[in-house]
Amino acid sequence: MSTTNTTNHIGRKISGIRELSRMKQEALTRELGVSQQTVFNIEKSAAIDADLLAQVTEFDLNSQFG
């Protein structure tokens, strides 16, 4: 039997922050300069590439709202 630790699921955290900011995936793709499939894959992944993670963390979702 396998268990999944959802607490450390980076993709779900990124998705949750985006959703709390009322941002659609499409808007995030424009800001990051990646395809919508890439954002979808990021949000579904438990781990992502370090360079891509750095790009995501550099983007401030709060800058969109104030």
* Structural contact between residues 7 and 38, judged by C-beta atoms closer than 8 angstroms: no
Give long-range contacts, CB 8 A cutoff, 24+ apart: 37-45. 42/11, 42/14, 43/11, 43/12, 43/14, 43/15, 43/18, 44/11, 45/10, 45/11
pLDDT at 3: 45
The arithmetic mean of pLDDT across residues 41-63, rounded, is 81
Q: Please state, in angstroms and as integers, the Cα–Cα distance from residue 11 to each residue in 1, 28, 66, following that order.
A: 23, 14, 25
Q: Percentage of residues in the chain with pLDDT exceeding 90?
A: 36
**Any idea where the domains of the chain sit in the sequence?**
6-59
Multiple choice CATH, 6-59, 3.40.50.1000, 1.10.260.40, 1.20.1050.140, 3.40.50.1010: 1.10.260.40
pLDDT in the model for residue 39: 92
**What does the pLDDT read at residue 53?**
85
3-class SS of residue 28: helix
